[in-house]
């Protein structure tokens, strides 16, 4: 069944939210999240049967791009427009990145700026046919009905991640589905020890303390869920423990009703901190939102002439296993859209 469970990766300090949530009718404590909140949460999530979004991303920083590259190795900002569309039969993500500057390090260790051309990545499935263009060095298209060489088909939309919106990948492995549920709400409430911290008539706060799977660091996650806006995430922050170092924050604004019982924020601000100072801020602005209507027209697309295509349909299972491990496309046939294929490639 098509589902969009809530995702919970970045969150807000409980102490900071106490004055905001204090007042008449507020419940305090550190109890498990009660069923009376979980049940309507699930109902709200299941109201979304199909979804189309167009989102604009802009990243800014008080540092120059070369300064960021020297500090952390980050070589570009995010300036892009994204389209996502999902229903029971199809999934699509297209992200068009602007022509922009890119930091590059030479053999002597010196950083310079170069202009990177505009380009687009597309990931899509429909009717069991996978098409994915998130490939190194080119814009391509992958085909494969019998096996899929990557961990997940749809690279997660940052907007959907920050809003705790997720569509399960039908080609994902069992292990990946379990791992995804650990960071999807309300599913994760059964897999992680989330605690109810605060509650009033409009919203409630839950938190979780544990280790991040990919680096083993101890963190505290706290998020605020809005009852008023259909159990959508309102704010989320991440703290490095035990020093309670604030590392990231997401604030969601301008909630609008887009379908019966369904609300979405039209503006999201994602902020990252480094050593207690602002590092980067990415603003996401929803340009279009369509919920529970036919989205099939958005999942049909053709690449323009000149697009490079990587075709995985003829790869053997052994070659796919090699691709999984190395991420090097050594056996796939490549061609350019609009060029006449040789007879042996047809």
Q: Are 98 and 80 in contact (CB under 8 A)?
A: yes
CA distance 95 to 335: 22
Is 95 within a domain? yes
The b-or-e profile of 166-187 (16+ CB within 10 A means b, else e) is: bbbbebbeeeeeebbbebbbbb
Residue-level pLDDT at 1: 30
Residue-level pLDDT at 330: 67
SS3 assignment, position 338: coil
Is 50 within a domain? yes
Residue-level pLDDT at 154: 56
CA distance 329 to 54: 31
State phi, psi for 35 to the nearest 5 degrees: -60, -30
Q: Which residues are CB-contacts of 194 (< 8 A; sequence separation ≥ 6)?
A: 32, 33, 185, 188, 206, 207, 208
Q: What is the number of domains present in the chain? A: 1
**Domain of 100?**
6-345
CA distance 124 to 121: 10
State phi, psi for 155 to the nearest 5 degrees: -60, 125
Chain centroid, CA 243 distance in Å: 28
Is 1 within a domain? no
Residue-level pLDDT at 311: 61
Kindly list the averaged pLDDT for each block of 10 residues, start to end, along the chain of length 346: 30 30 39 90 87 95 93 89 84 84 91 86 62 37 39 68 70 67 75 90 94 83 93 93 95 95 95 93 96 81 65 67 65 68 47
């Amino acid at each position: 069944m098509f589902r969009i469970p809530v995702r919970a990766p970045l969150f807000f300090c409980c102490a900071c939210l106490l004055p905001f949530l204090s007042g008449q009718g507020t419940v305090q404590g550190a109890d498990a999240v009660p069923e009376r909140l979980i049940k309507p949460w699930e109902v709200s999530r299941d109201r979304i049967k199909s979804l189309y979004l167009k989102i604009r991303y802009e990243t800014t920083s008080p540092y120059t791009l070369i300064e960021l590259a020297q500090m952390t190795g980050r070589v570009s900002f995010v300036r892009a427009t994204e389209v996502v569309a999902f229903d029971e039969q199809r999934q699509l993500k297209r992200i068009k990145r602007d022509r922009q500057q890119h930091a590059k390090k030479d053999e002597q260790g010196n950083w310079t700026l170069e202009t990177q051309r505009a380009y687009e990545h597309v990931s899509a499935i429909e009717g069991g046919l996978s098409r994915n263009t998130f490939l190194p060095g080119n814009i391509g298209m992958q085909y494969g009905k019998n096996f899929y060489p990557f961990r997940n088909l749809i690279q997660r939309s940052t907007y959907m991640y920050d809003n705790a919106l997720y569509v399960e990948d039908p080609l994902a492995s069992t292990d990946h589905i379990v791992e995804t549920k650990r960071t999807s709400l309300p599913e994760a409430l059964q897999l992680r020890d989330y605690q109810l911290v605060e509650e009033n008539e409009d919203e409630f706060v839950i938190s979780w303390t544990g280790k991040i799977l990919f680096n083993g660091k101890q963190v505290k996650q706290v998020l605020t869920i809005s009852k008023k806006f259909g159990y959508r995430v309102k704010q989320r922050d991440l703290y490095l423990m035990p020093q309670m170092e604030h590392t990231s924050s997401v604030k969601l604004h301008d909630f609008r009703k887009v379908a019966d019982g369904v609300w979405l924020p039209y503006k999201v601000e994602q902020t990252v901190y480094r050593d207690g100072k602002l590092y980067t801020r990415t603003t996401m602005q929803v340009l279009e939102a369509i919920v529970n209507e036919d989205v099939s027209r958005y999942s049909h697309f053709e690449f323009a002439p000149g697009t490079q295509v990587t075709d995985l349909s003829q790869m053997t299972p052994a070659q796919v296993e090699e691709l999984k491990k190395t991420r090097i496309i050594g056996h796939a046939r490549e061609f350019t859209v609009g060029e006449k294929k040789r007879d042996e490639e047809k």
